[in-house]
Amino acid sequence: MTLAEVATTAAFSIGVAAVSTAVNVLPGVILAYFLARVPFRGKSLVEAFVALPLVVPPVAVGLLLLLLFSRRGPLGPLLDGLGIPIVFTWRGAAIAAAVMSFPLLVRSAEQAFVEVPGQQEDVARTLGAGPIRCFLRVSLPLAGRGIAYGILLAFLRALGEFGATNLLAGNIPGRTQTLSLGIYDAVLSSRDRDAFALASVSILLSLAAVLLGERFLRARRRR
């Protein structure tokens, strides 16, 4: 593997992780808020469903996604018709990473919202803030640190995603190969040097993300 190829794989991994995290943020935060604040029937069922990718083997999740998006699945023909194929494309990698990392974001954000004192929101309401303003100006900023942490966790999980991605996006060098998939490929074909190169890059990337995230969180705490 040339340096350029390693760099391309790393960039692709970062891109996939970034897209999947970006896609997750809005629905994840809104869902987390509802789970934390709004009592409704069947809440534990929703919570269990959200947590499912954490406990089910990633390959099984990948299989389900493949069934959903393949040509014979319920969504595949529709998306293919619209010119947005999923299986064996970068979109597949992003979807697999998004599904696998979604619970981490939701659970961190939910916990963060739970920890916002209800009285803060009550006071905001009595001061004339409607539900949306109350959410944007009080709940969200106060839960901000926990949400940021959840986003970081989700990004890191997406960066390391392997099982589900392998099934839905395949392992096509230069097209859908992420760092994890690349390492696996290199090990299988006894390219030890490549495997170590890719593994080193992925460790450095994760380390950098953690350090940056921690620094950001600490700066916010000091404020």
Would you count residue 207 as binding another protein (CB under 8 A)? Answer: no
Would you count residue 38 as binding another protein (CB under 8 A)? Answer: no
Would you count residue 142 as binding another protein (CB under 8 A)? Answer: yes
Q: Considering only residues 29, 94, 105, 124, which one is a binding residue for another protein as defined by CB under 8 A?
A: 124
Minimum CB separation from another protein for residue 8, in Å? 42
Would you count residue 138 as binding another protein (CB under 8 A)? Answer: yes
Q: Considering only residues 1, 60, 129, 199, which one is a binding residue for another protein as defined by CB under 8 A?
A: 129
- Give the residue carrying structure tokens 């916010």: 220
List binders of another protein among 60-119 (CB under 8 A): 117, 119
Would you count residue 44 as binding another protein (CB under 8 A)? Answer: no
Minimum CB separation from another protein for residue 216, in Å? 16
Q: Considering only residues 78, 120, 204, 214, which one is a binding residue for another protein as defined by CB under 8 A?
A: 120
* 3 state SS for the chain: CCHHHHHHHHHHHHHHHHHHHHHHHHHHHHHHHHHHHCCCCCHHHHHHHHHHHHHCCHHHHHHHHHHHHCCCCCCHHHHHHCCCCCCCCHHHHHHHHHHHHHHHHHHHHHHHHHHCCHHHHHHHHHCCCCHHHHHHHHHHHHHHHHHHHHHHHHHHHHHHCCHHHHHHHCCCCCCCCCHHHHHHHHHHCCCHHHHHHHHHHHHHHHHHHHHHHHHHHHHHHHC
Q: Considering only residues 38, 128, 221, 222, which one is a binding residue for another protein as defined by CB under 8 A?
A: 128
Would you count residue 137 as binding another protein (CB under 8 A)? Answer: yes
Would you count residue 23 as binding another protein (CB under 8 A)? Answer: no
The site for another protein (CB under 8 A) is made up of: 117, 119-120, 122-130, 134, 137-138, 141-142, 144
